Amino acid sequence: MEQALIICDAPKGREFYEEILTKNGFEHIVVANDGEEGRRALIEGDFEVCIINAPLKNTNPIPLAKDIAMKNSCQVLLVVREEIFESTAEAVEDFGVMTLSKPIHRQAFWSALKLTKASAARMAIANSEIKRLQKALDEQKAIARAKCLLIEHKHLSEQEAHRFLEKQAMDRRVSRQLIAEDVISFYSEE
């Protein structure tokens, strides 16, 4: 289920964004009237896209867009007046925020939305790979730590410690990481 957050204090703007998002498959749309309300919504939900319609009363949209982009995995679209488009885009582009200029046309917004969806999909793939690599790294760290403990406490060679972990994993039909964690736990209690 695709979810979107709209931070906009203009009723016509909210209506415009909601209509286009709904037509593009977003099933759950949350609307916030200001930056603080938007931040609270981000804590409570997981969104694929966040649209910030500037200007906002009581909220500077540039720091808000940067903050959301840095602390969340959602794609951020910042819509600003034409006069400040260049300076705003320059200020936020290094944070991965896409900036659009008003007046905004449906086709331009639709294209930008498609780009953010494609970007979000690529980020999801990258995040999945990062998690996989982190898990493999954690496993290798645990095995290396367990080997060190076996070498220190059982006076085994590195090869013997490796074979010990492998044999225990095969005999118990569990992963080497689980055996390594058991070894670490056992020697940490001493």
Q: Which residues contact 27 (CB under 8 A, 6 or more apart)?
A: 1, 2, 3
Do residues 70 and 30 both lie within one domain? yes
pTM for the structure as a whole? 0.70
Does pLDDT of 127 surpass 90?
Answer: no
Q: Give me the sheet containing 75-81, strands edge to edge.
A: 26-32, 2-7, 49-53, 75-81, 98-102
Question: Tokens 């760290």 appear where?
Answer: 141
135 and 100, same structural domain? no
Read off the tokens for 186: 């056992």
pLDDT of residue 119: 81
135 compared with 104, residue with greater pLDDT? 135
Q: Do both 142 and 65 map to the same domain? A: no
When pLDDT is averaged across residues 130-147 and rounded to a whole number, the result is 94
- The answer on pLDDT for 184 being more than 80 is yes
- CA 120, CA 74: separation in Å to the nearest integer? 7
State the average pLDDT over residues 150-177.
Answer: 93
Where residue 169 falls among pLDDT bands split at 50, 70, 90?
Answer: very high
The letter for the amino acid at 172 is R
What pLDDT shows up at residue 27? 85
By residue count, the chain amounts to 190
Give me the pLDDT at residue 73, please.
Answer: 82
In this predicted model, which residue has the larger pLDDT, 31 or 114? 31
Residue with tokens 């500037």: 54
- 3 DSSP β-pair partners: 28
Residue 190, pLDDT score:
63
Do 67 and 8 share a structural domain?
yes
Q: What is the DSSP letter of 25?
A: T
Q: How far is CA 136 from CA 132, 140, 142, 166, 189, in A?
A: 6, 6, 10, 16, 25
Number of folded domains that form the chain: 2
